[in-house]
Amino acid sequence: MNKSIDHVKIKINQYGSSINLYCLDMVSIPEADVLLCTYNGIRINVKFDYAYGWEIESIGDDKLKDDVLKNKLRDFLEQ
């Protein structure tokens, strides 16, 4: 994904509700920028690591184990 984190945050805020994706906050840590989100009620981070690119991480006990859901989210972010 070659889009900036700001572009993705704007996209989530404008269109994310159509797939139950909501951005709660954005934080920066030394190695990455991170969007703190919920997806279908599951807490996730969309992490933009400066060295390794981006990834989607589920937080806590709720995990995005269903590859179909994870792929749907990835497809949405890559559009």
Nearest to 58 by CA among 32, 21, 28: 21
Locate the DSSP E strands across the chain. 21-29, 32-39, 42-49, 53-58
Q: Which of 7-11, 19-23, 47-51, 65-69 comes out lowest in average pLDDT?
A: 65-69
* 27 — pLDDT class (breaks 50, 70, 90): very high
β-pair partners for 38: 22, 43
Percent share of the chain, pLDDT over 90: 20
* 34 — pLDDT class (breaks 50, 70, 90): very high
How many Cα atoms occupy the beta-carbon half-sphere of 28 within 13 Å?
A: 4
Nearest to 26 by CA among 39, 15, 40, 10: 10
How much is the pTM? 0.77
For 52-77, the pLDDT digits (tens) are 887 888 777 666 665 666 777 778 77
